[in-house]
Chain A
Amino acid sequence: MALDKVGIAKRIAQELKDGWYVNLGIGIPTLVANYIPEGIEVEFQSENGILGMGPFPFEGEEDADLINAGKQTITATKGAVFFDSAMSFAMIRGQHVQLTVLGAMEVSQNGDIANWKIPGKMVKGMGGAMDLVASADNIIVAMMHSNKAGESKILKECTLPLTGVGCVKKVVTELAVMEIKDGKFHLIERAPGVSVEEIISKTEGNLVVPENVPEMVL
């Protein structure tokens, strides 16, 4: 069965390594924080100016001055630090953040990503996404395999305005985990009960399929 959003978040959480500073984008990526594997310590950065982002506050303890980049009320962990936006992007551009997880509208087989604009229809802006994808060494995209019309979002080439070129390393969807290298998607794992055929049929980009594709263990 295809994963739900929580399943995607749980699978991405398995990529976390002890000692990492991690930036989580808005949407599914935010959920990753709920599934940190036991025994490891990671710290979350939010580009609006906090390192050491904690869980949502208890009701009645919300602080309008303490939000994440999704403008949600949050808490700060012990040892957290606040800083300005220039300092925040110095951390990001300077590659002091080990992992970036973000959503996408489209990803292409050479690692291009589009997630900020649909010409003539929707223009929300790129926020910090362009800085994040241009700089991070390790970028994982959390997304659905197809759009609402059933068209693949895992493409040979992006059709929407790009956010960054050749930057995405790994994609986790409701169906599969794929790595991007040498200009191709490589199928690494499939969601429990999802067939390789289904993944192939829903992937427009070139997909390298090994003989044995293990199921995700969640």
Chain B
Amino acid sequence: MNKVVSNVSEALIGIEDNMTLMVGGFGLCGIPENSIAELVKLGVKNLTCISNNAGVDNFGLGLLLQQKQVKKMISSYVGENDEFERQMLSGELEVDLIPQGSLAERCRAGGAGIPAFFTPAGYGTEVAEGKEVRVFNGKPHILESALEADFAIVKAWKGDTEGNLIYKATARNFNPMMAMAGKITVAEVEELVPAGELDPNQIHTPGIFVQRIFQGEKFEKRIEQRTVRTK
């Protein structure tokens, strides 16, 4: 089945105010840059964004925060973004901080038809407030529910016209689970190839999870912490 759309604007048709979006990436690594830029252009507001981080002040999801397009963030770590911290501490922005592993599993569960699961992460902390606790093998666990989104926007290295995706290195991170959990999943890829070009043994996300795919116009791939050693 051909999932190809011609460009980013076509890929994001249907995104409206008040929607819930999943956005792949860890820090600035593996984020759908082209789609984020388009969301800024579209000016959609009151979004709930599910993403591990919130970008930095002037890149990634930080761009949406600057424009006050986000009503609520669901993330695990937001330390790199001053504007985010300011909006959160002043109460302008609703924030749900959840443990990273629970975030990943809640997205996976959403895509896999598992409504909820028990995890030990967060037991005895603020995260457990209001959640059912049950003891398994002598250890307390808390009930976490699945996450779903109106749109999941992911970034892959290579994709084919069927929507099959291959990620590169640690740019994989949250993208595969989010791809599973979107009612509509949009994949932007660095290289779009005809069906049959990718080795079926090597595909990370099967095309069944992807509704729209396009080749991104440009990828800046900004590095957050450039660390090197000397020869």
Chain A residues at the B interface, C-beta cutoff of 8 Å? 46-50, 55-59, 61-74, 76, 82-86, 88-89, 92-93, 112, 116-117, 120-131, 134-135, 161-166
Contacts and interface: CB of A to CB of B under 8 A. Distances in A.
Greatest chain B CB density within 10 A among A112, A126, A130 is at: A130
Given A48-B27, A165-B125, 16 more contacts: A48-B26, A64-B28, A65-B169, A67-B29, A67-B170, A67-B224, A71-B224, A72-B225, A73-B223, A73-B226, A85-B103, A88-B101, A125-B77, A128-B100, A161-B125, A162-B126
Contacts of B28: 64, 71
Contact of A126 (B100, B170, B173): B100
Given A83-B172, A84-B104, A71 B29 contact: yes
B114 to A, nearest CB: 12
B177 A84 contact: yes
16 contacts: A46-B170, A64-B222, A65-B169, A67-B225, A72-B226, A74-B227, A82-B170, A84-B177, A85-B101, A85-B103, A124-B77, A127-B100, A134-B121, A162-B124, A162-B125, A164-B125
B218 interface: no
B101 A65 contact: no
A195 B120 CA distance: 39
A127 B77 contact: yes
- How big is chain B's contact interface, by range? 35 or more
Contact of A62 (B98, B157, B223): B223
B225 A71 contact: yes
A116 to B, nearest CB: 8
A164 B105 CA distance: 19
A166 B223 CA distance: 37
B174 interface: yes
Interface stretch (B39-47, B78-86, B192-200): B78-86
B150 to A, nearest CB: 21
A76 B170 CA distance: 10
